[in-house]
Amino acid sequence: MRSFYNRSVWLNDPDCLVVRPPLTLDEARVWASIVAVSGGMTILSDNLPKLPVERLTLLQKALPVAPVNAETRPPVAVGTQNVEREVAPAIATADTLVRLRGPWRFRTGDDPRYAARDFDDDAWETIPVPLNWEQAGHPDYDGHAWYRTRFALPAAAAPTAHLELGKIDDTDETFINGVRIGATNGWSSYRRYGVPATALNWGGENVLAIHVVDTGGPGGFWSVRRDRPAGTWIVEGAPKWWTVVLVNWEDEPQNVTQSLAALGISGSRLAAYDVWADQPLADVQQSLAATIQPHSTLTVALRPATQHPQVIGTTRHIVQGAVDIAEERWDSAASTLRGRSVNLDGRAYAITIAVPRRLRSRTCKADPACTVKRLDVGHVMLQWPAGLTKDLAWSVSFGSARRR
């Protein structure tokens, strides 16, 4: 053990951030968001000169690790969503979960007839699942084997169904009622297969058959745990300025409703900012609700709404309030919001300001000059072109809005 070297010779266990293909852009944003809000040392595992420009931008938005100096309040991890309960092995629909409780039949060797629904497996041995077959009476066995189990489904057919299977060492080829529904090579990969509607016998008996090939070491149906990262992450980048990451790990869109109180977020009404879309969202109360596309994230910054203009998000970093907004002050006498931005990295830079309905932006002062973009919702965005790396002092004045 060499843990005592931590913080003297090296820093233990850095987070490795990967954004290159074959990850989709949405998947890369998921990992960039999680690494950014979880904090700690970060290393990049891509060939940077070969990364597409849009992937480099993801890395820039995740660096530096927040915070960057003693003047920046360290982000505080408020909590993450509890790890989901185990459901495999099971047939899952939108409304029903049918658990496959066995008994499981097992036989070493290989014969394509074993996949058939009407094959007679009464003479096969019974085996516990999940468990490596070495621990179930077949020590040192490598090669082909089959698992089979029977299960009943309710009479009401569902339009879509999935088999939540689990982890198999090493390779599986899986059948329901003789219909091949999927195959995976990888002992640590969780198997989840879509089941064709015509393959299931609703209101009757069904047969699941799994052909397994073990190339060495432990083998068989060894785990039903999914072991996915949490679906909700949150960090407080500055006092009462939270960044919330909601992730959909599934292969289908998911409707998500996240209680803010459960995350320790206070405030009766909160201004919201979509970090990846770089645009404001409607104010939220009590919960954050959204439909999240497969393998993607909704990353949202939240601040308690105020009666005066305030910054709700910038394009600089995923963790809002921790890296670039060094100062922010509302001058009520002059009806002016003043601020200072630091740690700019040469990309085009924009600050989104939430504006109460009774006010309207007038002029922006900064060096270099800023462009003011008024948004449809009444908020404003201060914009600067690429090339800015020095600290930036800015101010924007407001006046009474005209009655509509």
Q: Mean pLDDT in the chain? A: 91
Confidence check: pLDDT of 185 > 60: yes
Residue 203 structure tokens: 């209101």
Q: What is the mean pLDDT of residues 224-251?
A: 89
Of the ranges 69-78, 152-161, 231-240, 340-349, which one carries the lowest mean pLDDT score?
69-78
pLDDT score recorded for residue 266: 86
Cβ atoms < 10 Å from Cβ of 143: 13
pLDDT score recorded for residue 80: 53
- With bands split at pLDDT 50, 70 and 90, how would you rate the model's confidence at 70? very low
CB 80 within 8 A of CB 247: no
pLDDT score recorded for residue 85: 64
Map out the domains of the chain as residue ranges. Answer: 3-69, 90-223, 232-400
CATH: 2.60.40.10, 3.40.50.12280, 3.40.50.920, 2.60.120.260. Which one for 90-223?
2.60.120.260
pLDDT score recorded for residue 38: 85
pLDDT score recorded for residue 71: 46
Confidence check: pLDDT of 162 > 90: yes
Task: Give Cβ neighbours of residue 106 (< 8 Å, ≥ 6 apart).
Answer: 124, 125, 126, 127, 133, 136, 145, 146, 147, 148
CA distances from 81 to 229, 258, 259, 330 (A): 9, 10, 11, 35
pLDDT score recorded for residue 87: 87
Three-state SS letters, 47-88? CHHHCCHHHHHHHHHHCCCCCCCCCCCCCEEEEECCCCCCCC
Domain with residues 232-400, CATH architecture? Sandwich (2.60)
pLDDT score recorded for residue 86: 76
pTM metric for this prediction: 0.77
Q: What is the mean pLDDT of residues 244-253?
A: 90
CA distances from 246 to 29, 54, 317, 399 (A): 12, 22, 17, 37
pLDDT score recorded for residue 227: 75
- With bands split at pLDDT 50, 70 and 90, how would you rate the model's confidence at 21? very high
Asked if the domains 90-223 and 232-400 are classified in one and the same CATH topology, the answer is no
Q: Which helix (H) or strand (E) holds 38?
A: helix 25-38
Per residue in 25-54, pLDDT (tens digit) is 999 999 999 999 988 788 899 999 999 999
pLDDT score recorded for residue 310: 98
- The phi, psi pair for 341, rounded to 5°, reads -110, 140
CA distances from 160 to 112, 156, 175, 181 (A): 27, 12, 17, 13
Q: How far apart are the first and last CA of the chain?
A: 70
pLDDT score recorded for residue 404: 45
Per residue in 107-140, pLDDT (tens digit) is 999 999 999 999 999 999 999 999 999 999 999 9
Report the relative pairing of strands 232-238 and 220-223 from DSSP bridges: unpaired
